[in-house]
Amino acid sequence: MYLLLDLGNSRCKYLLSDALPVVVVQSSEENELGSWDNQSFNQDFWERQLQRFQSKKLSKVFVSSVAGKERKEWLEAMCQQVLGLTPLFAESTDTYVSEKLRRLSNSYDSPMALGVDRWLAMVGAFELCDTEFVVIDAGTAITTDWVSVAGQHQGGHIVAGGRMLQQSLLGGTGGIAWSASHDGELKGESFGVNTSAAVALGAETMIKGYCGQLMKDIADQAETKAVKLFVTGGDGDFIVTCLQEAMKERQLEYSISYQPHLVLKGLSYWFSLNN
Ligand SMILES: Nc1ncnc2c1ncn2[C@@H]1O[C@H](COP(=O)(O)OP(=O)(O)OP(=O)(O)O)[C@@H](O)[C@H]1O
Ligand SMILES: CC(C)(CO)[C@@H](O)C(=O)NCCC(=O)O
Ligand SMILES: [K+]
């Protein structure tokens, strides 16, 4: 069995699979899919999470991690201790060659500086279509990446996600935190009439505005009309709604594909084909 881990900023997603690459990432007789909250990387908690894989006859552990070097070393030591295996970490590379021998090219001058979750999500999407595409990963951060028909990464965005937008306000201003602590339920429809609602609805509006501008920029700059939009991440469902609204306003008809496990899918291809 292979254990694939997508270690995000707040959650860790895993897939147990008996074969690589994983074409359809879902729970089945052969595959087990799940996730846990990072719990601030509490040692005991993580040991318990990994212990559940001790009975699975693992041969390899493959990891996508956006954490720093120290955290990777910590995870490596824990996998060695609990599972008796040294995990292999995926990296952003200059080029990825697909199953159909098409090339996906990283646009960064230092390819490894591109977040590996972004690269793997692009790899996952690249294996799903041979058109121009955009990947939006709405997790702790929202990242957007645009890839041409020829597989050239055209660049992207990194934006604070919904929860982070709200937390930065609560953390950065004493008055807002105090007022929010005096709120009960969220009150207001699209405009909040207490602090928590004002902050939450403000964050939603920011994200809606971002999606609207993104659709405008894609419509203006895309090479083709057959752009495919791939959406993933914990807030993916909200992003899908926002993109649909934005497309309706502009009479655009791009297809949207919600792929909750795009990073795990990309991780399985990256290790299966290019390593
Ligand atoms: N149970 C949950 N725990 C934490 N966040 C959640 C949960 N359910 C939905 N979310 C939303 O998902 C977002 C986090 O997304 P995701 O689960 O993709 O996290 P992540 O993998 O840590 O993020 P990233 O991919 O940016 O590292 C949060 O902004 C939050 O709004
Ligand atoms: C932006 C995040 C944090 C999103 O998870 C991750 O992709 C990352 O650490 N990226 C490195 C910076 C970059 O992609 O340019
Ligand atoms: K993300």
Per-residue pLDDT tens over the stretch 80-91: 999 999 999 999
pLDDT for residue 188: 85
d(CA 261, CA 6): 9
| The last residue of a domain, from among 76, 91, 106 | 91
Q: Is residue 114 lining ligand 1, measured as CB closer than 6 Å?
A: no
208: left (phi over 0), alpha (psi -120 to 50) or beta: alpha
Taking the CB of residue 138, how many other CB atoms lie within 10 A of it?
A: 24
In ligand 2, the atom with minimum distance to the C-alpha of 139 is 5
pLDDT for residue 275: 63
Residues 134 and 215 in one domain: yes
Q: Best of 5, 11, 263 to mutate for ligand 1, by most ligand atoms within 8 A of CB?
A: 11
Active-site annotation holds for 117 = yes
Residues 143 and 240 in one domain: yes
pLDDT for residue 171: 82
Taking only the tens place, the pLDDT of each residue in 42-88 is: 999 999 999 999 999 999 999 999 999 999 999 999 999 999 999 99
Residues 81 and 136 in one domain: no
Nearest partner of 103 among 121, 130, 80, 77, judged by Cα: 130
Ligand in nearest proximity to the CA of 236:
1
Residues 151 and 233 in one domain: yes
Residues 75 and 134 in one domain: no
The answer to whether position 122 is within a domain reads: no
On whether the CB atoms of residues 207 and 239 are closer than 8 A, the answer is yes
The whole domain housing 24 covers 2-91
Residues 134 and 86 in one domain: no
pLDDT for residue 152: 98
Please check the confidence at residue 125 and state whether its pLDDT lies above 90: yes
Taking only the tens place, the pLDDT of each residue in 138-188 is: 999 999 999 999 999 999 999 999 999 999 998 877 788 888 888 889 888
Q: Is residue 117 lining ligand 1, measured as CB closer than 6 Å?
A: yes
Please check the confidence at residue 231 and state whether its pLDDT lies above 70: yes
Residues 141 and 252 in one domain: yes
Number of domains in the chain: 2
**H or E element: which one contains 200?**
helix 195-221
Gap from CA of 115 to ligand 2 centroid (Å): 4
**For the chain, give me the number of helices (H) and strands (E)?**
8, 12
Gap from CA of 234 to ligand 1 centroid (Å): 4
Please check the confidence at residue 239 and state whether its pLDDT lies above 90: yes
> Which protein residues are within 6 Å of ligand 2, measured from CB?
9, 66, 113-115, 117-118, 139, 141, 143, 158
